[in-house]
Amino acid sequence: MFSDRFRILKISALLLFILASCLAAQLAFHELTLEECLAAPAAYDGRRVPVALGVTLGRIEPQRFWVSGGPAEFAVEVPGGTAGLNLRSGDFFQAVTVFRRSDTGGYLELEEIRPAPLRRLKIVVSVLPVLLVAVLLVRSIRLERGFLVLRGDSGRKGGSDA
């Protein structure tokens, strides 16, 4: 598994497997969008439409909120009203909505929403561990005759540095 025998072949096969997995995932994970629903309102009436992936809350109105950050801004109707949902313009969020057909085409109606007001903080604090590990890696790993070598690790003798 780890020998130099067929090393290039192993590297190529593993790369291919990983890339193919990513490509297959991109094709397999399809979620219904408002645009698709509006293209055929009768076919999608009552279907669930997730609203997530990098979108933020736009204007908050008493009976609806606007979704920003996507290709185009659109509204989500909130049957019970937006008061009490703790929505704040600019926050990231995830929501499950239902497409409803109307005379003008259709609209999304909120089923459940989860605001993520701390998502930016999460992204910012995540930089620190990346920097710490990067510094340690630069310090711990060196290049030796074309291979990476972990300093102070005795390889098969294993654990002698513990």
Partner 1 sequence: MPDLVTHLAAGFLSGRPLRLARSAVVFYLGALLPDLLSRPFHIPFPAVFPATQPFHSPFVLFALCWLAALFFRADQRSRIFWLLYGGCWTHLLLDMLQVHLIGGYAWLAPFSWRTYSIGFLGPEDFLRFLPLSIPLILLAFVLAWRRGMPR
Q: Verify binding: residue 72, partner 1, rule CB under 8 A.
A: no
Stretch that binds partner 1, among 60-68, 76-84, 98-106, 122-130 (CB under 8 A): 122-130
SS3 content of the chain, % helix, strand, coil (to 5): 35, 30, 35
Judged by CB under 8 A, does residue 102 bind partner 1? no
Cβ 91 vs Cβ 56: under 8 Å? yes
User: What sign does the CA torsion over 81, 86, 87, 92 have?
Assistant: negative
Q: Does 79 bind partner 1 (CB under 8 A)?
A: no
Give the whole-angstrom CA distance, residue 91 versus residue 68. Answer: 10
**Applying CB under 8 A, which part among 38-46, 60-68, 82-90, 153-161 lies near partner 1?**
153-161
Instruction: State yes or no: residue 43 binds partner 1 (CB under 8 A).
Output: no
Distance of CA 61 to the CA centre of its chain: 27
- Six-digit token string for 16: 């291919």
Instruction: List residues binding partner 1 (CB under 8 A).
Output: 1-4, 7, 10-11, 14-15, 17-18, 20-26, 28-31, 50, 52-55, 94-96, 112, 114, 116-119, 121-123, 125-126, 128-130, 132-133, 135-137, 139-140, 144, 147-153, 155-156, 158-159, 161-162
